[in-house]
Structure 1
Amino acid sequence: MYFAALLARTEDGWEASDTELDDVETLSDLTDLARDASMDEDTVLVYIEQEDAWFGVVRVDGEEDPRIFVSNASAAARSSYGEILLTDELLGREPEAEDSIAALEELVGLDGTEDGEPGPPGHSDTDTDHATDDDDDGPDADAVPAGPLGDTGVLSDLGLPEAELLMLRTDALAEIADALGAAEVLETVR
């Protein structure tokens, strides 16, 4: 089960709202959602949690690139919402590296029967010897490090130091909101 909330900073303090992520497919979609909740390009935090597995915080400050922290990257890699947060940049990979690797692996699997030529005896056109197990577009869970990943200082200037963020586990939103001084407004959406 997932829970997602937006915390938007205003001149009067924080405003909280729960949010549906059904229409969010990319980090760009998530960033746009956060910017739409922002007043005067103030800070917006998007909090996503999968119960007992991982949580993520995306910080959007105006038009700056989003800053991301994920508490358990390998658990998040197995989640559709986690895959949104685990960008190539966050994982330290070249953009589109997986697509290039998959294309090269497919070329290596060519056996000369690609143009409709009959294959060797016992070979069928439906053989998938060269197919990879990573047919989805998400990151390979084996290639994603276990544990925290991303910007550990994402909340430092808002009252939650790096060391404390790294100690948080699931259901961390209450502690994050408390550190930000947003605990009361969060209760209205929880």
Structure 2
Amino acid sequence: MYFAALLARTEDGWEASDTELDDVETLSDLVDLARDASVDDDTVIVFIEQEDAWFGVLRIEGEDDPRIYVSDGAAAARSSYGEILTKEILGDDQDDADTLDDLNLDGTEDGEPLDRDDEDDEAAASVDGVPAEPLGDRLLLADLGMSESQLQELDSDALGEIADALGASDVLETVR
């Protein structure tokens, strides 16, 4: 289950709204949704969370390219909306296996048993080469009151803490 909210900056502060992601199939759809909520091409923050497994933040300002942050790339890559964000961060060429490193040769192709060690566990934590770690623009909220380290430390109530740093917790509570 997903939770999504939009925080749009206005002259009077922030306006919050929850949003349905049913019609979102691409990053362009998500960006259009955010731009529709924008007042005078001001900043819009889109927050998407999947059952405390991962969260993503998308920042839109006018016609600029979106800035994106995902708390756990591998977890996000396993979900439809997270996959949209991780593909944008990593680029669409993630599916192409052009080098030996990309081929994931683990010794079992000749029938040899796979001996697991720490390196293998780390590789298993990734999904199709997407690492199980934060991805994207870690500074996307720095000028709004949330530093890179604060963003990376977030986990369970990430949206609440982001809204608090932006000074938007009161308007967010009306949406929840």
Asked whether the two chains share a fold, i.e. TM above 0.5, the reply is: yes
Structure 2 residue identity aligned to 1:150: G
Instruction: Write the distance in 2 (CA, Å) between the matches of 1:86 and 1:32.
Output: 18
DSSP-derived class of the 2:74 partner: helix
TM-score by length of 2: 0.80
DSSP-derived class of the 1:173 partner: helix
Deviation of residue 86 (structure 1)? 1.1
Within 5 Å, give how 1:15-164 maps onto structure 2: 15-88=15-88, 90-91=89-90, 93=91, 95-96=92-93, 98=95, 141-164=127-150
Deviation of residue 101 (structure 1)? 5.0
Instruction: Write the distance in 2 (CA, Å) between the matches of 1:184 and 1:162.
Output: 23
Deviation of residue 170 (structure 1)? 3.0
Q: Which has the higher Rg, Structure 1 or Structure 2?
A: 1
Instruction: Write the distance in 2 (CA, Å) between the matches of 1:188 and 1:97.
Output: 40
Deviation of residue 9 (structure 1)? 0.2
Asked whether the equivalents of residues 54 and 170 of structure 1 are also in contact (C-alpha less than 8 Å), the reply is no
Instruction: Write the distance in 2 (CA, Å) between the matches of 1:142 and 1:85.
Output: 15
Asked whether the equivalents of residues 87 and 94 of structure 2 are also in contact (C-alpha less than 8 Å), the reply is no
Q: Report what 1:128 is aligned to.
A: none
Is the counterpart of residue 166 in structure 1 residue 175 in structure 2?
Answer: no
Q: Deviations over 1:71-109 (max 9, x none)?
A: 001000101110111125x11x4x4452x559xxxxxxx
Structure 1 residue identity aligned to 2:3: F
Unpaired segments of 5 or more residues in structure 1? 103-139
TM-score by length of 1: 0.75
Between the two proteins, the alignment pairs up a number of residues equal to 149
Asked whether the equivalents of residues 6 and 17 of structure 1 are also in contact (C-alpha less than 8 Å), the reply is yes
Instruction: Write the distance in 1 (CA, Å) between the matches of 2:137 and 2:32.
Output: 20
Unpaired segments of 5 or more residues in structure 2? 99-125
The one of 165, 170, 175 equivalent to 1:184 is: 170
Structure 2 residue identity aligned to 1:11: E
Q: Report what 1:6 is aligned to.
A: 6
Instruction: Write the distance in 2 (CA, Å) between the matches of 1:170 and 1:85.
Output: 20
Structure 1 residue identity aligned to 2:31: T
Which protein is richer in helix relative to its size?
2
Instruction: Write the distance in 2 (CA, Å) between the matches of 1:17 and 1:156.
Output: 22
Q: Deviations over 1:120-149 (max 9, x none)?
A: xxxxxxxxxxxxxxxxxxxx8231011100
DSSP-derived class of the 2:157 partner: coil
Deviation of residue 59 (structure 1)? 0.1
RMSD over aligned CA atoms reads 1.6
